[in-house]
Amino acid sequence: MATDAGHFPFVVTAAGRKTAPEYQFDTKAVCIPLISSKGHGAAALNRIHYQEGKFALANPLFAAIPNNPETELLPKYLYYILDRRREDLFCPLMKGTANVAMRMEDAINVRFPMPSFEQQIEIVSQINKQKAIIEGIEMILENFDSYTYNMDDIPKHPLEKVIKGHL
């Protein structure tokens, strides 16, 4: 909260990004919180982030930057695999009673599946295609009644008249 607004993305634990006047990184990275999303003695990670380009990183996160992102470990693959398994991989490492957190030294030792670089490219491609389909469907659903039907002009019926099951 003490960081002034600026021109660079500022990766924080929240879903969205803030901005910062300066950047710390100019790369592709997976940004992983070291603190629980819930706090109060509960270990949870609601999200990790993928960020590329110039960006700043909030204190309770660390940037996982592949050593060889063009030949060994695709950053987006790392993001997808760690994000999918974040609860299983990182939450068991969290300790504490009030402020639940993990040490970066422990977090960097998590083990994850790492197929060949070519397979990583294919996996990321397939996930990106599926995500594009999902985003398109979500956009259609969000705008459905506004461009397809005027729902105000359609008669309303009580749910209990058109369903079988109820308590």
Ordered by start, the domain boundaries in the chain are 1-114, 115-155
Strand ranges (E), 24-91: 25-33, 49-57, 61-64
Residue 10: pLDDT band with limits 50, 70, 90:
very high
- Rounded to an integer, the average pLDDT of 17-31 is 96
Nearest CA among 11, 82, 87, 12 for reference residue 42: 87
pLDDT tens sequence across 66-120: 999 999 999 999 999 999 999 999 999 999 887 889 999 999 999 999 999 999 9
CB 102 within 8 A of CB 94: yes
Please identify which residue in the block is written with the tokens 């940037």: 63
Please identify which residue in the block is written with the tokens 């006047």: 21
Q: What is the pTM of this model?
A: 0.81
CB 97 within 8 A of CB 40: no
Q: Which amino acid is residue 68, in one-letter code?
A: N
Structure tokens at 105: 């030294």
Please identify which residue in the block is written with the tokens 């997808």: 80
Collapsing DSSP to helix, strand or coil, 89 comes out as: helix
Q: Specify the fold of 1-114.
A: Adenine-n6-DNA-methyltransferase TaqI; Chain A, domain 2 (3.90.220)
Task: Please list, in sequence order, all residues whose beta carbon lies within 8 angstroms of the beta carbon of residue 12, skipping any fewer than 6 positions away.
Answer: 18, 58, 61
